[in-house]
Amino acid sequence: MEVKKSSEADLEQHRPTWLLLGCVVALSVLFVALEWSVRTDDADWQDLLPELVFEEELEVPMIEQPEVIPPPPPVVPAVTPEVVTVVEDDVQVEDEPVEIQEQVGGASADDAQPVEAEESLSTEKGDFVLVDELPEFPDGGQAGLMRYLTQHIRYPLFAQHRNLQGNVVCQFMVNEDGSISDVRVLQGVHPVLDNEAVRVLRFMPRWKPGRLHGKPVRVCYSLPVVFRLQ
């Protein structure tokens, strides 16, 4: 005889329903628990936040920092380098004046004489070296010429640093009106000293011209200029 179950007593057919209902209830309880935990944590943080901030302010008080004055920069002494300019042959130099010996050509200025020749130079204007009256420096003659050279010659620094000395023999023309022209060097020492001697002679005032038979004439004149370091 076969045993038959009643459908009302068969619990297996309701098993999926109860299982689904149990899952829904469990998830609901879990969601409520999580929501409650999150709200509680937020409330706790909100309650503790002022206290924490207050404690942080107490732990880090504001300290006034003293003003730090930077030390002054070190004083570096200024060094002025000595500059020596090399002078070209055609450059005129003007430096600090120094004393030169009271000699202009040999022992004194009186030794300066015109170039000796047996006859006059053959030029278009008729230059003479043998005349009745020699040209003369306008202010004091030979002594005045010596004073002029002593006051106006400037010993170039380039020559001083290299101990350049010697006699620069120059030649120039004293024209009929006493003006000076054609200044050139017959015997030089160094271009720097030669240029200085030529510069000073070119700026001389008008001389008293030389005369031949009572008439002013052009006269060729030579003059040694002495450069000597004291």
Cα–Cα distance between 125 and 120 in angstroms, integer? 11
Q: Note the pLDDT of residue 60.
A: 58
Q: Note the pLDDT of residue 201.
A: 96
Which backbone phi and psi does 130 adopt, to 5 degrees?
-115, 110
Q: Is 76 a domain residue?
A: no
Q: Is 174 a domain residue?
A: yes
Q: Note the pLDDT of residue 72.
A: 62
CATH no. for residue 198?
3.30.1150
- Helix, strand, coil proportions of the chain in percent (round to 5)? 35, 15, 50
Cα–Cα distance between 139 and 214 in angstroms, integer? 22
Q: Note the pLDDT of residue 172.
A: 95
Structural element, H or E, at residue 19: helix 15-59
Q: Note the pLDDT of residue 114.
A: 32
Q: Is 81 a domain residue?
A: no
Q: Note the pLDDT of residue 106.
A: 34
- Residues making up the chain, counted from first to last: 230
Q: Note the pLDDT of residue 229.
A: 87
Residue 162's domain comprises: 109-227
Per DSSP, the three-state class of 85 is coil
Indicate whether 113 and 221 sit together in one domain. Answer: yes
Q: Is 83 a domain residue?
A: no
Tokens 């350049």 found at: 164
Q: Is 114 a domain residue?
A: yes
Indicate whether 136 and 32 sit together in one domain. Answer: no
Alpha helices in 65-206 (DSSP H): 141-152, 157-161, 191-202
Q: Note the pLDDT of residue 96.
A: 38
Q: Is 4 a domain residue?
A: no
Tokens 């002025």 found at: 80
Q: Is 86 a domain residue?
A: no
Per-residue pLDDT of the chain (230 residues; tens, 9 = 90+): 555 555 555 566 677 787 888 888 888 878 777 777 656 555 555 565 555 544 445 555 666 666 767 666 544 333 323 323 333 333 333 333 333 333 333 333 333 333 232 233 333 344 556 788 899 999 889 999 999 999 999 999 999 999 999 999 999 999 999 999 999 999 999 999 999 999 999 999 999 999 999 899 999 999 999 999 88
Write out the two tokens for 96.
Answer: 């600090």
Cα–Cα distance between 104 and 140 in angstroms, integer? 15
Q: At a CB cut-off of 8 Å and minimum separation 6, what does 190 contact?
A: 159, 164, 166
Q: Is 135 a domain residue?
A: yes
Number of structural domains, the chain?
A: 2
What DSSP character marks residue 180?
E
Indicate whether 40 and 114 sit together in one domain. Answer: no
List, in sequence order, every residue forming a beta bridge with 212; answer none if it has no partner: 215
Is 0.75 topped by the overall pTM? no
Cα–Cα distance between 230 and 222 in angstroms, integer? 25
Cα–Cα distance between 129 and 113 in angstroms, integer? 10
